[in-house]
Structure 1
Amino acid sequence: MPGSRNQHLERAGSPVRLGVRGWDDQVRRLGNAIEAIARPGGNAGSCEDAEMIIQPSRRTFLLSLSGGAGQELGMFIAPGTLVFVLLMNAPLSYAETGLASAAATLLGFLLVLPIGVLVDRVRRGPALVVTALAGATTLASFAVTTWLGWTAAPHLLLAVVLVPILWQAADLARDAYLPAAVEHGRLVPVNATVVIVAELAYWLLPGVMEQPMWWPALAAGVLAACALLFRAIGVPEEPAPPRAGWWAETVEGVRFTFAHPVLRAIAVSVVVVAMLQPLLGELVEPRGNVPSSWLGYLAVPAGAVAVWVLRRRVHVFRLAWVSLLLTQPFAFLLVLAETGWGVWWHALGTFLPLAGTTAAAVTLLSHRQVITPSRLLGRTGATLLLLVGLAGVVSSFVEVLSIYLFTLESMLSPDVRIPVYAWPVVLLSAAGLVAAALPLYRVRRLAEAPMAEPSPLP
């Protein structure tokens, strides 16, 4: 109703007002803000009215869009390139390189929650600039030493470990900063663009392997440009909350994630998808040439583009659970992968579920950014990253166990392509992907309430 909409805008501190009286009030506030800026020593930051009229604009949207896309591109290219150059140039064994990558993964698990706390303690805009510059400096030094032939194992190992941690910190800072820099209605386009760029970066990997020396320099230049883009945004941010200690702040973020009904539903859904979806692609292989190998590269951009187009017609949260319900049942088509039309059943059973989970991931991230208080965005994001990472570990363990069992079975029966024991796992995984929509469906009325405010602490 119009009345409730206006009351919501009043509570949100928005300068939008309806009616002549509201317009006059806004003009008066604008005049007061201009006078405050014009006075000697006056500035917009010291005047409450001036802060109210500073709203995200098209300029900040484009800067955020470009910066986020470039950041994802630069950070995505870096880790694989570093490992490849490390193997080619440094006198290290594959085991030592694997240990360095494992150390980066372990540190990612151990540091994700402290990084989330740090993101909530500092201003996110400068944090994005610092992480981009740190990544650019690391990669530039790597490129220079490689070009001069001065590669040293300690330097390379440090870069292999440091860059993924910077990537993690940059992702958390960007997700926490976007609600301040971009209007809520434009969060989906920015998040969708970042996902599309990350997927399209896979297409650059063959070039990375052919000319590995130049890619660190290119990634460093991209990250340096991102630092300039983030620096140019300059929107005001809410002041950081008073510090209560690392442990207390970490517990607060985790508790809020599990206590809030919508965030809890999002956490359950993304964990189920992260744990089950990788199993389907590893356990089922069709006969013949597979179009799903290139369809897989198109599934993620297709899902992101779909939510970009539909976001104005369908509520963002509704897009999430509807996309899961409509696309995940197609995973059951993988059961037909060894039939006459198995190649195409496999393509549909791979493409549509992946596109659906991508659409759900983009919309759930955008909705989480809207309903979470600004001071908790870093910690809730870190909690979800930790849960998704642990789900990935469980999925990898099941995958390794399946490969081991399949190796034993193939020794006894060389003609076997899909082991018998895999079919129950495939069916259960497909059913679990469909069930991932149920937690979201149960909280749909709460999540789809008009003009959802950042939720208070439970």
Structure 2
Amino acid sequence: MVDSPASRPSAPGSLWRNRDFLLLWSGQGAGTLGPQVALVVLPLLALDQLHASSFQVSLLTSLGWLPYLLFSLPAGVLVDRLDQRRLMIACDLGRMLLLASVPLLALAGRLSLGWLYAVVGLAGVLTVVFTVAYRSRLPQIVSPDQLVDANGKLGLCESLAEIAGPGLGGMLTGAVGASRSLLANVLTYALSATTLGLMRSPRKPSPAVPPATRRPPVRAELRQGLDFVRREPVLLRLLLTTSASNFFVTAQGAVAVTFMVRELRAPSSAVGLVFALGSVGGLLSGLLARRIADRFGSARIIWLSMLLPGPLYFLMPLAGHGWGVLWYSVGLSALSANATLFNTASLSYRQRVTPAALLSRVNAVYLWIAYGVIPLGSLTGGVLATAIGLRAALWVCALGMWSGALFVVFSPLRRMRDTPLAAAAGVPEPA
């Protein structure tokens, strides 16, 4: 394989010497820690203080993801037209204020499940815009050969947040209560906004629309991203895999806390520990992403990462009382390893084969469909838990999570070792 800057840590183009990447990395990591704290805190808050049912908790999760279905495509056009860094800072500040309202209302005795739903939904809209913006910003500050390494480091940050966040959420809930624990989210969003504000590199102008040229209608711009994904067979398979996996992963996540608290009688601290240990696989795969890609191929690891960890998912419904709850963390660890490695490789593939002028809209298409199914998955988890029981619902989810591998195992990726570069830099005209 040709030696590249991404495979030479001491090279002048090393990511460790890229100030803007390090700021984006730390900002994205801080912004990821907050939701991971909320992953444990919000369901515990709804269960303990607001006495929510299993279905109401799953609805809380669903509302957090519903904005991906409703706002992803418009967010792609918005990110293309406005300054991405300023958008990310505005999203951080908005989420900070929304989450700060929860402990304040709880202290005043005015917190309701309805307001909690509103906060989760509005914060979800801001998260959609932030996610499209940072994924589109990354190729502007690193070279194409560094994308796997950069995405691996971003995935590592997410894994570190997944380790620290739930454990911190469980410990804070036990120490100061669920509502006050959300102050940790406020601090992480403030830190994220600060680091993003320190970035210096200007946004690179899009080659799609010269300054004197009138922009096409919004509908035409949206359609360009959809058409590009539809015409690219690998991108389409990646979209199907991500969508199927997200559906069942979220169905699992919607009942996980309820299963451990009500079925296994696990305390809040044990729930946090399970989620923290469950992120170890993602941490290791994030650290080793570049080496694994160099060893097996940046395209080949896409389907291998989906296929191999699957059998371990079935340890989740096999979890038991006491120390037996840790079997759940083993299944989660396999899932997090799969997610970090697959997301690193598939996102790098998408960023390399997509023309720069279309990247925000292609990213938005992925969020619209692959994340748009998440609220449906969350509701499905709640319905399954109500209809057939919590443990049986987890068996269905484990099988469904592994089934997503079929789309990439039987795809052109099987004949590739490494990811190609974009064939053309131009943007197709809308039909």
- The normalised TM-score by structure 2 is 0.70
What CA deviation, in whole Å up to 9, does each residue of 1:81-117 have, x standing for no partner?
567668888xx88599877776554444212221222
> In the alignment, which of 413, 419, 423 is matched to residue 448 of structure 1?
419
Partner AA of 2:157 in structure 1: V
Q: Deviation at 1:272?
A: 2.9
Identical residues among aligned pairs (%): 23
Q: Deviation at 1:293?
A: 5.0
Aligned-partner SS, 1:436: helix
* Residue matched to 1:435: 406
Say whether residues 1:61 and 2:25 are aligned partners. no
Compute the RMSD of aligned alpha carbons: 4.8
Say whether residues 1:162 and 2:133 are aligned partners. no
Q: Deviation at 1:168?
A: 2.0
User: Superposition pairs for residues 94-133 of structure 1, below 5 Å?
Assistant: 94=52, 105-133=65-93
Question: Structure 2: how far apart are the matches of 1:344 and 1:60?
Answer: 39
Question: Structure 1: how far apart are the matches of 2:171 and 2:28?
Answer: 22
Residues 116 and 446 (structure 1), Cα distance of their counterparts in 2 relative to 1, 3 Å cut: farther
What CA deviation, in whole Å up to 9, does each residue of 1:50-98 have, x standing for no partner?
xxx9x99521221121111011113443576567668888xx8859987
Residues 335 and 190 (structure 1), Cα distance of their counterparts in 2 relative to 1, 3 Å cut: closer
* Residue matched to 1:264: 236
What CA deviation, in whole Å up to 9, does each residue of 1:413-452 have, x standing for no partner?
xxxx869xx98x6896477244233255447549633x55
* Residue matched to 1:254: 226
What CA deviation, in whole Å up to 9, does each residue of 1:370-391 have, x standing for no partner?
3223332222222212222344
Stretch moving more, 202-211 or 235-244: 235-244
Residues 357 and 402 (structure 1), Cα distance of their counterparts in 2 relative to 1, 3 Å cut: same
Partner AA of 1:130 in structure 2: A
Alpha carbons 1:72, 1:197 under 8 Å: kept: no
Residues 454 and 360 (structure 1), Cα distance of their counterparts in 2 relative to 1, 3 Å cut: farther
Stretch moving more, 94-103 or 294-303: 94-103
Which has the larger Rg? 1
* Residue matched to 2:167: 203
Alpha carbons 1:261, 1:443 under 8 Å: kept: no
- Which structure exhibits the higher relative contact order, with contacts defined as CA atoms closer than 8 Å and separated by 6 or more residues? 2
Aligned-partner SS, 1:239: coil
Aligned-partner SS, 1:243: coil
What CA deviation, in whole Å up to 9, does each residue of 1:292-351 have, x standing for no partner?
95653433323333325424444322222232343336668999999xxx9999887765
Residues 127 and 453 (structure 1), Cα distance of their counterparts in 2 relative to 1, 3 Å cut: farther
Structure 2 portions without partners, runs of 5+: 5-10
What CA deviation, in whole Å up to 9, does each residue of 1:215-262 have, x standing for no partner?
443322322222221122222323254532332222222222222233
Question: Structure 2: how far apart are the matches of 1:57 and 1:445?
Answer: 31
Residues 97 and 457 (structure 1), Cα distance of their counterparts in 2 relative to 1, 3 Å cut: same
Question: Structure 2: how far apart are the matches of 1:266 and 1:101?
Answer: 24
Residues 430 and 159 (structure 1), Cα distance of their counterparts in 2 relative to 1, 3 Å cut: closer
Alpha carbons 1:73, 1:198 under 8 Å: kept: yes
* Residue matched to 2:360: 378
User: Superposition pairs for residues 50-449 of structure 1, below 5 Å?
Assistant: 57-77=17-37, 81=41, 94=52, 105-140=65-100, 149=108, 151=110, 158-184=118-144, 185=146, 186-200=149-163, 201-210=165-174, 211=176, 212-240=178-206, 241=209, 243-276=215-248, 296-328=278-310, 351-352=333-334, 354-392=336-374, 395-396=377-378, 399=381, 402-403=384-385, 406=388, 429=400, 432-442=403-413, 444-445=415-416, 448-449=419-420
Residues 454 and 175 (structure 1), Cα distance of their counterparts in 2 relative to 1, 3 Å cut: farther
Stretch moving more, 393-402 or 159-168: 393-402
Partner AA of 1:187 in structure 2: A
Structure 1 portions without partners, runs of 5+: 6-15, 17-52, 411-416
Question: Structure 2: how far apart are the matches of 1:453 and 1:405?
Answer: 50
Partner AA of 1:272 in structure 2: A
Query: What is the number of residues matched between the two proteins?
Result: 390
Aligned-partner SS, 2:202: coil
Alpha carbons 1:192, 1:308 under 8 Å: kept: no
- The normalised TM-score by structure 1 is 0.67
Residues 214 and 329 (structure 1), Cα distance of their counterparts in 2 relative to 1, 3 Å cut: closer
Residues 395 and 84 (structure 1), Cα distance of their counterparts in 2 relative to 1, 3 Å cut: closer
Stretch moving more, 64-73 or 175-184: 175-184
Question: Structure 1: how far apart are the matches of 2:291 and 2:418?
Answer: 21
Q: Deviation at 1:165?
A: 1.6
Partner AA of 2:194 in structure 1: L
